[in-house]
Structure 1
Amino acid sequence: MFEVQQAAAGEWAVVAGGGRALLVAETDAARLRDLLAAVRAGFAETLDALVAHGLSRTPSFALIDVSAETALLAVRGTGLASVSERGSERVVAATGVSSWVELQLPGVESATLGPAATGATLPLTEGVVRGSTLRWTPAVTAEDVGATVAAPPKRERDTGPVEAVPAVVPEPEEIVAGPAVEPFADAPLPEPGTEPEPEPAAEPDPHTRVPEATIADVPETPPAAPAAAPAVAAEPAGYDHLFGATMVRSVEEAAVRPAEADEEAAPSRIDLPGFITDSFPSGADRLVGDHDGLTVMSGDLPERPAFEPDASDAGPAPAPQTFAVLLSDGRREPLSAPVVVGRAPSVTAVPSLRGARPVTLTSAEDDISRSHVAVAVEGDSVVVTDLHSRNGTMIVLPGKSPQKLRSGEPTTVVLGTVIDLGSGATLTVEAAG
Structure 2
Amino acid sequence: MMSRGPAANDGLHLVPFRGLRYVPERVGSLAAVTSPPYDVVVRPDGLHHLESADPHNIVRLILPQAVTAGTRHRKAAVTLDRWLAEGVLAPDPEPALYVYEQSGDGILQRGIIGALELSTPAEGIVLPHEDVMPHVVEDRAALMRTTAANLEPLLLTYRGNGNGTAEVIERTVHREPLLATTTEDGFHHRLWAITDPGDLATVSTGLAEHQALIADGHHRWATYLRLREEHAQPSPWNYGLVLLIDTARYPLRVRAIHRLLNRLPVGDALAALGDSFRVRRVEGTLPAAMEALAAATSDGNAFLLAGDGTFHLVDHPDPELLARTVPADRPEAWRTLDATVLHATLLDHLWHIPDDPEEISYIHDTEAAVAQAQRRGGTAVLMHPVREEVVRDLARQGVTMPRKSTSFGPKPATGLVLRSLALD
Tell me, yes or no, whether TM beats 0.5. no
Which structure: larger Rg?
Answer: 1
| TM-score, length of structure 1 as denominator length | 0.22
| TM-score, length of structure 2 as denominator length | 0.22
More helix by share: 2
Tell me: higher relative CO, structure 1 or 2? Use CA pairs within 8 A at least 6 residues apart.
2
